[in-house]
Amino acid sequence: MYDRGRGRLFRLPRCAIISGCYITRWAPWQDGYEKREEMSLILKDRFHPSQRQKLQEKIDKGQITICDELSLLEQEQLRPLASFSLLLLVIGAILFVVLTFAVLLGRTQSLNFEFSAIKVIIWVVINIVSYILILPVHEAIHALAFLLWGGRPYFGAKLPLALYCGARNQLFRRAHYLVVGLAPLVVITLAGIILTLLAPILASYVIFATIGNIAGAAGDLWVAIRLWRQPGAWFIEDTATGYRAWQMESV
């Protein structure tokens, strides 16, 4: 934060009240914190415009404080997140493999199939392609959910296969943000279940995508579980690697 009277810069405490509608981002510069970037925080709520305006006025006056913050790329988060993703992979595999065989058994009364090397190769190749394609589909669903609440999403990529969708400098109600986070997991999983029930053979050609999407949603589910345990969090700010939760000051 900049002290105009003395011309000095000092570091903003983690839980300090924002000044007006701005929060200052600090970056280390030589032996002190001398760079800053001010960003306005805009509340997004398409379906409650009058209430949104009143809350925005309070936000602009600095009547919110940070109550929680999470970065999924921090070292202490990576190992448990990887284990959680592996667990979801196993759960997803069991779910869709068992469902596929159950539907096939119910329709044919038999599990006798003819396999050939060419058919197996084609099956594997199509599944790999489907897994790659499900990545942008996953992020597109995030974007549609952001748009639903009036947000302005953006896309990014961390190669080779890490895509992401975010919403800079925007605040969402906690329930709305949970919808954004869980939408790809729910939508794609339901689509996979319906496709398996209707056309199990066809569904088997995208089973890598449906299972991989469940495992890939580990971060989304991790955030959702943590936010669910934060009833005091009124608004959620999406960050590049996680989120920042804000609560309204009692005034």
- Is the same domain home to 25 and 97? no
9 pLDDT above the threshold of 70: no
Rounded Cα distance, 193 and 196, in Å: 5
- Is the same domain home to 98 and 190? yes
pTM of the complete model: 0.82
- Is the same domain home to 203 and 92? yes
Q: How many domains does the structure of the chain reveal?
A: 2
On whether residue 46 sits in a domain, the answer given is: no
pLDDT tier at 6, thresholds 50, 70, 90: very low
- Is the same domain home to 156 and 235? yes
On whether residue 237 sits in a domain, the answer given is: yes
* Residues spanned by the domain of 30: 1-40
Phi and psi, residue 199, nearest 5° = -145, 80
- Is the same domain home to 23 and 132? no
- Is the same domain home to 153 and 35? no
**pLDDT tens for each residue of 36-88:** 344 589 999 999 999 999 999 999 999 999 999 999 888 888 899 999 999 99
On whether residue 109 sits in a domain, the answer given is: yes
On whether residue 58 sits in a domain, the answer given is: no
Q: If 0-12 CB within 10 Å is exposed, 13-18 middle and 19+ buried, where does residue 188 land?
A: buried
